[in-house]
Amino acid sequence: MSASAFSWGIALLVAERRPVERRWFLIPTMVVVALLGMVGLHAGITGVLPMIRIVPVIISSIVIVSIIIYSFIITRDLIQ
């Protein structure tokens, strides 16, 4: 788990250099955040974790995915 988190962090640092030109990187980031939210939801539904601990994870995933989608849409006109 820590190796994937480290490599994803490095990839985000590279994408941060020129964010508008690398806006394509928002798509896999959105997928990862959405999947983390779904894993949390699955853990709550199956009873692995109490649902009260999952609610903040789901809310934050929805907020972050919404911000990523918004960023992807507003930057489409900036690329020349």
40 assigned to some structural domain: yes
Q: Per the structure, how many domains does the chain have?
A: 1
How much is the average pLDDT of 21-45?
88
54 assigned to some structural domain: yes
Predicted pLDDT at 79: 65
Rounded CA-CA distance 80/75 in Å is 11
17 assigned to some structural domain: yes
Reading phi first (left if > 0) and then psi (alpha if -120 to 50, else beta), residue 47 is in left
Predicted pLDDT at 53: 93
pLDDT of 57-80, one tens digit each? 999 999 999 999 998 888 887 765
80 assigned to some structural domain: no
On the question of pLDDT at 7 being above 70, the answer is yes
Domain carrying residue 11: 2-74
33 assigned to some structural domain: yes
Which residue in 11, 26, 13, 30 sits closest to 78, CA to CA? 26
- As a whole number, the mean pLDDT across the chain is 86
8 assigned to some structural domain: yes
Lowest-confidence segment of 1-10, 20-29, 45-54 by average pLDDT: 1-10
How much is the average pLDDT of 41-58?
93
